[in-house]
Structure 1
Amino acid sequence: MQANVGRRVAIIGAGIGGLTTALAFAQTGADVTVYEQAAALTEVGAGLQITPNGARVLNALGLDDALARVGITADAACPMDAVTGRQIARFDLSTQSPTYRFYHRADLLGVLEAACRAAGVTILLNTRIASITSDGRFMVDGAMVAPTLTIGADGLHSQMRALLNGPGRPFFTGQVAWRALVKREDAEARAQIWMAPDRHVVTYPLRDGMLNVVAVQERTDWADEGWQHADDPANLQAVFADMAPDLRALLADVTDVCLWGLFRHPVAGRWQQDGAVALIGDAAHPTLPFLAQGANLAIEDAITLAACCQHDASLERALKGYQAHRQPRVTDAINAANANARNYHLDGIPRRVAHAGLGVLGRVAPNAFLKRLGWLYDYDAPKLHHFTPV
């Protein structure tokens, strides 16, 4: 069935999740318009990791060649002892299929934008949505728009989520994160997780000889949510001043940094309503950055939603099926991310035991680590939901 043919689909938000959704619906025959309040398609932040589960979706949308030109193929994931500088283990990522890659967000967004425009998607920038109703209608520049389906890809502070679920009550996790870029022309194609008591740093390379840096600290001082809050690099450097020389030298090169507070939002109870509105990505399930799955889960949402609608003439039934498929999986991923937040920050005997266990695993059974993530990385949303471009 090709039930999306002729459907008028409006997508609120032109981030990675929104544009992936737009492309998936356009490839199944829908008439798609994306509404974005920003004046230009830019992504706050820097790097992201697209793991095999996300890559399968992007490949199914025909993007592999374009993405190969802008991404860096990941060779390994390396847990590090941030106190001593010792590499605890090395887990091979080079054999992952599809390819595990590191991207600058702007590059991934650019590939998606070009593909959307080529598929006939209309992207309206500098467009603020007002007065969204429960049946998916909304006001734009004083005119009422009435799509067949309206999709909220409007992120962490989604007005679409509030429409379906009421006001949210996120709580501060007691953790803050800094994001920065530093120049490292010779950086290896690996993700390093520098673990220390109550702190950790994740690094991986991006294009143009840059290294993406995300540093997390447990603390009681509250910080605003969102990536755009500038901070003094000296504050970041002071937090890790007693760490290994290599890590201190890396952080000493940070000249611009943003700080944000990490808040936990519950998975939305309602992702859809009346066959008229639906949520994807952070609008439905904000995720802490400890499993590299925020973008990947949104990308999975996108093709699952398009496929569910493609194969059912009843949008009400299709949207209920979409939520039923996605809610348990994203809940499992969020729980795994929350567990990593604890495991990265161990101290004392638990820290020594965990590091020893990782070391043994890396030497004796290096593939076992990735097999533990098989439930996450082996997931094939396009195949599972029979996504079929028109």
Structure 2
Amino acid sequence: MDLSEQKVCVIGAGIGGLTAALALRQLGARVCVLEQAEAIKEVGAGLQVSPNGLAVLRGLGLASHLEARSVKAQAVELRDYAAGRLVAHLDLGLIKAGTPYHFVHRADLIDLLAQAVRAAGIKILLLQNVETVHPGRGGERARVVMSNGSEMRADLVIGGDGLHSRLRGVLNGTVAPFFTRQVAWRAIVPNTMRHGNLVQVHMGPHRHLVSYPLRGGTMVNLVAVQEQAGWAEEGWHHTDDPQNLRRVFNDFGGDARALLGEVTEVSRWGLFRHPVAPVWHQGNCAILGDAAHPTLPFMAQGASMAMEDAWVLRDALERAGTLSEGLAAYQTRREERVKRVVDAASKNAWKYHLANPVVRTAAHMGMRLATTFAPKKLMGQFDWIYSHDVTKP
């Protein structure tokens, strides 16, 4: 399909939306991005870009820019909560894909994508609060309706507007998510404890704490998760008192104690499970990233899945004879993979939260033996995620 001079409107200047905007612009489309915020500013915290996500950035000519702004990961260390005793060391150099993780501040990844988008001649329109979208049928263009009543028409509208996507609701209706009985805190602290270039996971009864460095190793990203019976609201824009975080994890030792002691600002949010959307496209519209398949953070694949979506959407449209054929091929090519990733993430947390001392001791012994005698096999279980390269034919 020839996208030259086709008008594409991308809703949302997040990772998926900006990646899609750049990818489609490289096929000749006239692209604009609608963002409801007043500025593309530093929000969020750290994220991990695994080899499958880096492959997309490489395909777009941005891999070196990511590497310049990120920390290259060397390993994942699993540690017991009480004294920080090492349970397992997972060497990321053993990943079959041959390229380790990169740790990057979300704002830095957004910034490099936004710079590339603007350099490609794409306008990012701020303060654009989308009310609804009319997908368009029978040759009609799609219509994006703003909360102030203004409209924009496009040959293709992409919903990259995240968890509460307007376009997802248009295509699928509203389905209430369910609470996973887990809450999380997120914070960034100075790296005063010489945290290495690795992920540390401190595992305790009904809780775990993840940490890894950012911005040249000067900062450390923290995500702390606790099992909890109830929660009122979704989202991570809920500030909390750092003392509440320290109180919940007051029996964690080793580096975890030092990291928690550095927290001065923290956000807290409930973890909800959303179903993968059954409908990803209709008329002249499609959704991607969290708008299509929100995932829990326990496989660190949210950003990489959104970037994979954007590349496959571009490729499917380029190969198709018509827009409808391309959008259908896009969902077909992505749906099974993202469902598998979402499911893997949903099942991963329990491994860190073992409460029975006997069970936990046995499980930790098994991890130690595996990393000592079969490290390649242990890392190989993730090959289906990390070695997947959507940019290769």
TM-score normalized by the length of structure 1 = 0.95
> Given the alignment, which residue of 205, 230, 236 partners 2:245?
236
Q: Is the 8 A contact 2:23 2:311 kept in 1?
A: yes
Using the TM superposition, give the Cα deviation of residue 86 of structure 1 relative to its aligned residue in structure 2, in angstroms.
Answer: 0.7
Using the TM superposition, give the Cα deviation of residue 4 of structure 1 relative to its aligned residue in structure 2, in angstroms.
Answer: 2.0
**Aligned equivalent of 1:75:** 74
**Aligned equivalent of 2:330:** 322
Greater Cα shift, 302-311 or 339-348? 339-348
Q: Is the 8 A contact 2:93 2:99 kept in 1?
A: no
Q: Is the 8 A contact 1:44 1:227 kept in 2?
A: no
Separation in 1 of the partners of 2:162 and 2:211?
24
- The 3-state SS of whatever aligns with 1:172 is strand
Using the TM superposition, give the Cα deviation of residue 378 of structure 1 relative to its aligned residue in structure 2, in angstroms.
Answer: 0.5
Matched, 1:345 2:353: yes
Q: Is the 8 A contact 2:276 2:293 kept in 1?
A: yes
Using the TM superposition, give the Cα deviation of residue 356 of structure 1 relative to its aligned residue in structure 2, in angstroms.
Answer: 1.3
Q: Is the 8 A contact 2:237 2:268 kept in 1?
A: yes
**1:185-264 alignment runs, 5 A limit:** 185=192, 186-207=194-215, 209-264=218-273
Separation in 2 of the partners of 1:326 and 1:351?
36
Where structure 2 has 5 or more consecutive residues not aligned to the other structure, the ranges are: 137-141
Using the TM superposition, give the Cα deviation of residue 221 of structure 1 relative to its aligned residue in structure 2, in angstroms.
Answer: 3.1
Matched, 1:312 2:305: no
Using the TM superposition, give the Cα deviation of residue 342 of structure 1 relative to its aligned residue in structure 2, in angstroms.
Answer: 1.4
Matched, 1:176 2:183: yes
**Aligned equivalent of 1:335:** 343
Using the TM superposition, give the Cα deviation of residue 3 of structure 1 relative to its aligned residue in structure 2, in angstroms.
Answer: 2.0
Using the TM superposition, give the Cα deviation of residue 142 of structure 1 relative to its aligned residue in structure 2, in angstroms.
Answer: 4.1
Cα distance, 1:363–1:95 mapped onto 2, change above 3 Å: closer
Cα distance, 1:134–1:184 mapped onto 2, change above 3 Å: same
**Aligned equivalent of 1:277:** 285
- The 3-state SS of whatever aligns with 2:347 is helix
Greater Cα shift, 196-205 or 129-138? 129-138
Separation in 2 of the partners of 1:199 and 1:12?
36
Separation in 2 of the partners of 1:312 and 1:4?
11
- The 3-state SS of whatever aligns with 1:236 is helix
**Aligned equivalent of 2:145:** 139
Give the letter aligned to residue 145 of structure 2: M
Give the letter aligned to residue 144 of structure 2: F
**1:289-308 alignment runs, 5 A limit:** 289-308=297-316
**Aligned equivalent of 1:21:** 20
Q: Is the 8 A contact 2:132 2:167 kept in 1?
A: no
Matched, 1:363 2:372: yes
- The 3-state SS of whatever aligns with 1:242 is coil
- The 3-state SS of whatever aligns with 1:131 is strand
**Aligned equivalent of 1:48:** 47
Separation in 1 of the partners of 2:71 and 2:94?
14
Separation in 2 of the partners of 1:337 and 1:247?
23
Separation in 1 of the partners of 2:82 and 2:22?
45
Give the letter aligned to residue 190 of structure 2: K
Q: Is the 8 A contact 2:312 2:330 kept in 1?
A: yes
Cα distance, 1:181–1:223 mapped onto 2, change above 3 Å: farther
Using the TM superposition, give the Cα deviation of residue 128 of structure 1 relative to its aligned residue in structure 2, in angstroms.
Answer: 1.6
Give the letter aligned to residue 357 of structure 1: G
Q: Is the 8 A contact 1:73 1:94 kept in 2?
A: no
Matched residues, number: 382
Separation in 2 of the partners of 1:75 and 1:364?
19
**Aligned equivalent of 1:103:** 104
The C-alpha deviation readout for 1:2-39, integer Å capped at 9, x for no partner, is: 62222211100000111011111111111111000101
Greater Cα shift, 158-167 or 142-151? 142-151
Give the letter aligned to residue 184 of structure 1: N
Separation in 2 of the partners of 1:220 and 1:262?
12
Q: Which runs of 4+ in 1 moved over 4 A?
A: none
- The 3-state SS of whatever aligns with 2:290 is helix
Using the TM superposition, give the Cα deviation of residue 347 of structure 1 relative to its aligned residue in structure 2, in angstroms.
Answer: 2.3
Using the TM superposition, give the Cα deviation of residue 223 of structure 1 relative to its aligned residue in structure 2, in angstroms.
Answer: 4.4
Separation in 1 of the partners of 2:280 and 2:360?
39
Cα distance, 1:364–1:223 mapped onto 2, change above 3 Å: farther
Using the TM superposition, give the Cα deviation of residue 218 of structure 1 relative to its aligned residue in structure 2, in angstroms.
Answer: 0.1
The C-alpha deviation readout for 1:40-92, integer Å capped at 9, x for no partner, is: 11353210000000000111000011111101000111111112311111111
Cα distance, 1:143–1:45 mapped onto 2, change above 3 Å: closer
**Aligned equivalent of 2:389:** 380
Give the letter aligned to residue 262 of structure 1: L
Q: Is the 8 A contact 2:132 2:166 kept in 1?
A: no
Q: Is the 8 A contact 2:94 2:376 kept in 1?
A: no
The C-alpha deviation readout for 1:233-267, integer Å capped at 9, x for no partner, is: 11111111122243222212111100000001000
Where structure 1 has 5 or more consecutive residues not aligned to the other structure, the ranges are: 385-390
**Aligned equivalent of 1:115:** 116
**Aligned equivalent of 1:157:** 164
Q: Is the 8 A contact 1:156 1:283 kept in 2?
A: yes
Give the letter aligned to residue 21 of structure 1: A
Separation in 2 of the partners of 1:237 and 1:261?
18
Using the TM superposition, give the Cα deviation of residue 95 of structure 1 relative to its aligned residue in structure 2, in angstroms.
Answer: 5.9
Using the TM superposition, give the Cα deviation of residue 351 of structure 1 relative to its aligned residue in structure 2, in angstroms.
Answer: 2.1
Q: Is the 8 A contact 2:179 2:230 kept in 1?
A: no
Greater Cα shift, 36-45 or 333-342? 36-45
Give the letter aligned to residue 319 of structure 1: L
Give the letter aligned to residue 279 of structure 2: R
TM-score normalized by the length of structure 2 = 0.94
Separation in 2 of the partners of 1:68 and 1:334?
26
Query: RMSD of the TM alignment (CA)?
Result: 1.4
